[in-house]
Amino acid sequence: MMEGMSAAISGVQLGALRMSVSANNVANVNTPGFEQSDLVQVDRNPGTGVGSIRKTPNPNPELSGTDLAKEFGGEMTLAKTGYSASLKALKAQDEMVGSLLDVVR
């Protein structure tokens, strides 16, 4: 049961980190020479994930390396969906523990 909560909490943290990385990319869309960052998700133990940030080299130092279509079309949508799903899983785990405690009383 605790593995489910751990996985849900990890998902919430990864969703928040993904949104933060994407927001940083969008904020620097007009920064010449900016190198876009990407979140790389790696599964560690069952139910837990770790995110690391990878920079994408920018071949043109006069322009920003941010791809707005990728950020708005993919990364932010993925962050929102993953965050929402993880919160629902966390709520379900909370309700199960609450029901279990009600039965024990």
Looking at every residue in the chain, the average pLDDT score rounds to 81
How many C-beta atoms surround the C-beta of residue 36 within 10 A? 21
Q: CA-CA distances (angstroms) from residue 41 to 14, 49, 59, 81?
A: 8, 7, 25, 15
Q: How large is the average pLDDT for residues 85-103?
A: 84
- Identify which has the larger pLDDT, 12 or 102: 12
Partners of 54 in the β-ladder: 38
Better pLDDT: 59 or 32? 32
Is there a contact between 47 and 6 (Cβ–Cβ < 8 Å)? yes
Mean pLDDT across 63-76: 83
